[in-house]
Homo-oligomer: A and B are copies of this chain.
Amino acid sequence: MSSARNISVALRRARLPRPRCFVQPIVSRAPSRIATRSFSLTSAVNATKEIKYTSNAYPNLKRDPKFAEITAEDVTFFKELLGSQSAVIDGVTTDAADDIEPFNSDWMRKYRGHTRLVLKPQNKEEVSQVLKYCNDKKLAVVPQGGNTGLVGGSVPVFDEIVINTSRMNKIRSFDEGSGVLVADAGVILEVADQYLAERNHLFPLDLGAKGSCHIGGNAATNAGGLRLLRYGSLHGNILGVEAVLADGTIVNSLSTLRKNNTGYDLKQLFIGAEGTIGVITGLSILCPPRPKAVNVAYFGVESYEQVRQAHQEAKSHLSEILSAFELMDGRSQKLVHESTGNKNPLDSEYPFYCVVETSGSNGEHDMAKLEGFLEHIMGEGIVADGVLAQDETQFQGIWRWREGITEALSHLGGTYKYDVSIPLPELYQLVDDCRERLTKLGFVGDDDSFPVRAVVGYGHMGDSNLHLNISVREYNKEVEKAIEPWVYEWIQKRNGSISAEHGLGLAKKEFIGYSQDETMVKLMKQLKDLYDPNGIMNPYKYI
């Protein structure tokens, strides 16, 4: 974050300079640090501690005896089917434990399975044959993309076969006239976005893990990310899905049309289903033109009430060019500093910080709107201090600072993560209430005798989406019990969602009742039974 120290334009009252705006598309945005597959820093810090098996951490979870055990014969079948050596990692007939480990455990080092077989099919036909075989033989499977999830959805619990999408990594077509991209599920989000950048378009989704996550996984988890407020949800942007059901049926709904009202919109069921009814193998998605001008500002704010005011003013002044409004509390920023040694872009400390981004087609117009916004919020004393990125380096610096929170926290030990939607008026109250609760119970403190280091909050304010993070020195069942189900009850009372964008996975399977009524859960189970009657798809999770 050293580059961010160069940000020198303090937006103090009556001293607002006219900053230079970017008029080039952001084609050169470097991947953020979280975005590498190896997550090397995390590994370096935690390598000494072995990840606990999920089956030990959740002793109530038992392997379902209805599932067959993988045999050498099965492995032979898959090797013949998939041909290439790189398509099968075989821990059944060989000792491949080290090669398999990255597919068994998540990058948060919270979940770890026992699989002995990883398959990497290359197209929908291969996926179809793999699934048909598994369905016939009652072999359980876990579809896996970039394995960047936060709820344990993409790793096995027991010996489920991992079906990894990394070898389905072709961009199939892009039409500049319509902006429609068709690509394999295993294309890395950042690769797709770079491809689009060269063609003056933008992938309508951006998130910290973009350097590793697969677009198929993004669809399967209905990822939200940083700019949903501007570009909308994947349910609106994904025009077509190609997927394979548990019995091998290929669902070809890969329309590239914006409008197609010919029957039930089945593809929607795969978006957010977390691989429990099928494996997504391809997508078509509507991509907007890349903005010609992008600006980003970072503010310090004295109270949550003022953050809300700033948010309202941003919506009003920036309107159609507002592309992100992010909130971070002071404690989260302090932890980032402690973890990385990087310094906050602002000199003074504040209880809250915001990142506001604009994306538009005319740099002068955008800057005029942004100046109007800045003058207003500074003039009215809504924000206390702020900086505006003056060049690409500073732009990257601010975004890396924001996007690096998740990884920075992970260096400090474990993190209990709650990704929730709450109506804006009470959004941040959850963090205060949780901190108060855990403090009263004697869990929170500065020295190593306390399990909890800090209770922090950050997230996508523009979408009413808060990430409540409880940073612990190590995972602790007593702390967990103090948080859950209390946190879910708190959210339920406010008609919020217990999972805004991270999904259910294993972490929230038991708690869906806090956000969905009995009828909804029953209807969901009915769908699961319809599409996966043997229950082989990502068992032990979701609903």
Q: A residues within 8 Å of B by Cβ?
A: 175, 177-178, 221-222, 224, 228-229, 232-233, 235-237, 249-253, 255-266, 268-269, 271-273, 277, 289, 291-292, 312, 315-321, 360-362, 365, 368-369, 421, 423-425, 460, 463-465, 495-504, 508, 512, 515-517, 519-521, 523-524, 526-528, 530, 542-543
**Chain B residues with Cβ under 8 A from A289's Cβ?**
315-316, 319
Which one, B261, B320, B504, B519, contacts A252 given CB within 8 A? B519
Contact of A464 among B178, B498, B517, B542 (CB under 8 A): B178
Nearest to A268 among chain B residues (CB) is B268
Measured CB to CB, the nearest residue on chain B to A422 is B257
Q: Which of B277, B362, B515, B519 contacts A260 (CB 8 A)?
A: B515
The CA of A381 and the CA of B318, in the complex, are separated in Å by: 34
**Which of A257, A316, A502 neighbours the largest number of chain B CB atoms within 10 Å of its CB?**
A257
Residue of B nearest to A229 (CB): B258
Q: Is the CB of A262 within 8 A of B316?
A: no
Q: State in angstroms the CA–CA spacing of A178 and B312 once bound together.
A: 10
| Residues in B neighbouring A519, C-beta threshold 8 A | 249-252
Q: A258-B464, A263-B516 are in contact. List 20 more A-B contacts (CB 8 A).
A: A222-B261, A224-B259, A232-B232, A249-B519, A251-B523, A257-B496, A259-B421, A260-B500, A261-B499, A261-B503, A262-B512, A263-B504, A263-B542, A264-B272, A264-B524, A266-B520, A266-B527, A291-B319, A292-B319, A361-B369
A322's closest neighbor in chain B, by CB? B361
Please tell me if the beta carbons of B271 and A265 are within 8 angstroms of each other in the complex: yes
The smallest C-beta distance from A309 to any residue of chain B, in angstroms, reads 11
Known: A259-B497, A268-B235. A360 touches B524 (CB 8 A): no
Residue of B nearest to A423 (CB): B178
| Cβ contacts under 8 Å, A425 to chain B | 177
Instruction: Tell me if B261 and A504 are in contact (CB < 8 A).
Output: yes
Contact B261 A500 (CB under 8 A): yes
Beta-carbon nearest neighbor of A501 in chain B: B259
Do A497 and B235 have beta carbons less than 8 Å apart? no
Closest B residue to A459 by CB, please name it.
B259
A257 CB contacts on chain B under 8 angstroms: 421, 464, 496-497, 500
Contact of A272 among B265, B320, B528 (CB under 8 A): B265
B361 to A262, Cβ gap below 8 A? no
B-side contacts of A222, CB under 8 Å: 261, 265
**Which 5 pairs across A and B sit closest by C-beta, in order of nearness?**
A236-B236, A319-B361, A268-B268, A259-B500, A260-B497
Inside 8 A of A320's CB, which chain B residues have their CB?
291, 320-321, 360-361
Q: Which residues of B have CB within 8 Å of A362?
A: 319, 365, 368-369
Q: Which residues of the partner chain B approach A360 to less than 8 Å between Cβ atoms? A: 319-320
User: Considering only CB atoms, which chain B residue lies closest to A252 in the complex?
Assistant: B517
Cβ distance A527 to chain B, nearest Cβ, rounded Å: 6
A332 to B41, CA, bound (A): 65
Provide a sorted-by-A list of 9 A–B residue pairs whose CB atoms are within 8 angstroms: A232-B232, A232-B236, A235-B236, A235-B265, A249-B523, A251-B523, A259-B501, A263-B512, A266-B523
Contacts of A263 in B (CB 8 A): 272, 504, 512, 516, 520-521, 524, 542-543
A365 x B361 contact (CB < 8 A): no
Closest CB in chain B relative to A535 CB, distance in Å: 15
B237, B497, B521: the one contacting A255 at CB < 8 Å is: B497
* Residue pair A465, B520 in contact (C-beta under 8 Å): no
The residues of B that contact A523 with a CB separation of less than 8 Å are 249, 251, 266
Q: Note all chain B residues with C-beta closer than 8 A to A361.
A: 316-320, 369
CB < 8 Å neighbour of A465 from B235, B258, B262, B268:
B258
The answer to whether A178 touches B260, judged by C-beta atoms less than 8 angstroms apart, is no
From known contacts A362-B369, A425-B177, infer whether A258 and B527 are also in contact, taking CB-CB under 8 Å. no
Contacts of A319 in B (CB 8 A): 289, 291-292, 360-362
